[in-house]
Each structure stands twice: as C-alpha cells, then as structure tokens.
Amino acid sequence: MKSRYSYKETFESGQKVAWQVEDIIGGEKRLDFKRPFLPESLARVDSMDFLSAEEKLLLNQIRGYGYLYTFGLVEEFILPFVVDHARPHLSGDDYRTRALLRFAGEEAKHIQLFKQFAAEFQGGFGSACNTIGPPEEIARAVLSHHPLGVALVILHIEWMTQRHYLDSVHDDGALDPQFKSLLRHHWMEEAQHAKMDTLMVEALVESCSPAEIETGITEYAALGGLLDGGLQQQVEFDMQSLQLAAGRTLNRAEQDRFRSIQTQALRWTYLGSGMTHLKFLETVGDLNPGARRRIEEMAPAFC
C-alpha cells in the first residue's frame, strides 16, 4: 500500500508545534465558569427546553469535563499501543523511531494536562461529576483486541479530534478562552497523530492476511459497541451530575428526554463524527471497500 504520509514529513511538522503543560494551564490561566466550554454541535443542550439557561450552562460544562476526561481515558490505551508498535524496529528508520516516540510522549503529556484540567475543574465547578472508568481497566479491555482493530479505533479518534476543532471550536467566540486554548493546543499535536496512525494501520496491514484484516475491522466495530455502552453509562452520570449541580431532580419525562438527546449527543461526539470522517473512511476503504460501505451504513445511527 502506498502511503499518503511519511514519518519524516510528520516528524518535521511536529517540531514546529511542541508546547509545555505549564505554559498552557495553571497560574493566571483559569477556567471561566460563566462561559460554555463545548460548542453546541457537541453539547446539544439548546433543544433541552425543560432546562433553565443556568442549567444548560452547567450541563455544557459537565459535558466539557467529560470530553477532556474521555480524551485522557483513550490516551491511556493509545500510549502503550504506540510504544509497543515502535519497540520492535527502533534501529531501522530514525524518523520512524523519533516520530513514534514523540507521538507516545505527546499522549503522555496530554494525559497529564487533562489530569490537571480535571483537578482545576473539580475545584471550581462546585459539585462532583462522575465519569466512566477506571481508565486502566478500559485500556486493558481495549488492548486485548486485535492490533488492527485497536489501530482503527485510534485512527477514528485522531481524525475525530481534528474535525471537532476545525468544524466547531475554532470559530466559536462564545467558548471559555482557557478551555478553547486546551482544545487548540491538543488539536495542533493531534494533527500529526492522525497521520502517524494512518502509517501504523498501513504497517499492520502489511503483515495481515485478508482474514486477519477482516478480523481487525470486525474488532473495530466491537470496540465501537464497547464504547457505546460506556457512553450510555456516561449519560446517566451526566444527568446525576446536573441534578446535583442544579439542586433539583428532573421528573420522569424530563429524564427520558435528557437520555434521548444526550445519548445522541455523545454518540455524535465520540462515534458518528469519527466514523464519517472522510480520511478515516479513505483508509478503511483501502483495506476493504465493503467494510467502508458497512461503516457508512451504520453511521446515521450515531449522528
């Protein structure tokens, strides 16, 4: 398979980006809890007319907290996966080694950044927010799948991050500037990760039989199902967090509407926006055009 990307080009574009955790969080750089954190296309709180304006803002921020928590969580399995992928061939191509180790190093940095964000959020939000996990357990479950399935999930996540920032965050002037800055810095490094993961998928495919490629694609779908189960649990947690923060209990009809709107919001955020990304579909289509069609057919349920 001829690659669209190269380790050298990806490594060199990454050189221009590098930032330090302490440069973008802490000190004077504080979250502003008077402003929304997530763009409406991901948060989908506007149509929830049974919530007051204050409650919509609280839910937006709960979703923002969950968003960066979820990135930290997936990075817990991306980090060991990339290190394992780099390890067997450290001496062949110096650009490959440096680019993969930087990919891993950046994910370790993002994990640390998002932990610091979580501590600051918890200090300023005023009430507790529950999240799915623990990350180590989810990482173990994910990494027990076929490496090609895991690499496809990571590819989906990396392109999805690009799309969220470019389509929804970049031009949104209402968002809290500090939260937006975290998203922007994350996006800048993830741009290289999406290319690196394409190279990882291509390398894995070279050593796979057609049957193994089929297994990898099936496992990608299975991992999507695993994530979808987690998202449904997260919707319940978000509803509890909102009720705690707002100091009131939603009635049965409001709870049902909350579940239906937010399930679809989380599905779009973490599943639909990745499954329908053209770059992701391009790579899957190269492996197996039938698999691309199957993903495209499944996608509307997650959009």
Structure tokens at 227: 């994530």
Minimal distance, residue 71 CB to Fe ion, in Å: 6
Query: Quick check: 110 binds Fe ion (CB under 5 A)?
Result: yes
Query: Quick check: 277 binds Fe ion (CB under 5 A)?
Result: no
Site string for Fe ion, 138-177 (x = CB under 5 A): ----------------------------------------
Piece of the chain touching Fe ion by CB under 5 A; list 3-11, 16-24, 42-50, 110-118? 110-118
Q: Give the count of alpha carbons within 13 A of 65, CB side only.
A: 29
Piece of the chain touching Fe ion by CB under 5 A; list 13-21, 31-39, 186-194, 267-275? 186-194
Piece of the chain touching Fe ion by CB under 5 A; list 30-38, 44-52, 190-198, 261-269? 190-198
CA distances from 253 to 243, 249, 266, 299 (A): 14, 11, 20, 28
Structure tokens at 49: 């007319």
Residue 19 CB neighbour total at 10 angstroms:
14
Which residues have a Cβ under 8 Å from the Cβ of 264 and sit 6 or more positions away?
Answer: 44
Q: Which is nearer to Fe ion, 190 or 219 (CB)?
A: 190
Contact 228, 259 (CB under 8 A): no
Query: Quick check: 238 binds Fe ion (CB under 5 A)?
Result: no
Minimal distance, residue 78 CB to Fe ion, in Å: 6
Q: Give the count of alpha carbons within 13 A of 166, CB side only.
A: 11
With 0-12 / 13-18 / 19 or more C-beta atoms within 10 angstroms meaning exposed / middle / buried, residue 209 is exposed
Q: Which is nearer to Fe ion, 59 or 86 (CB)?
A: 86
Using CB under 5 A, pick the residue from 176, 190, 202, 238 that binds Fe ion: 190
The type of residue at 113 is L
Q: Which is nearer to Fe ion, 138 or 235 (CB)?
A: 138
Using CB under 5 A, pick the residue from 44, 63, 109, 193 that binds Fe ion: 193
| Residues forming the site for Fe ion (CB under 5 A) | 110, 190, 193
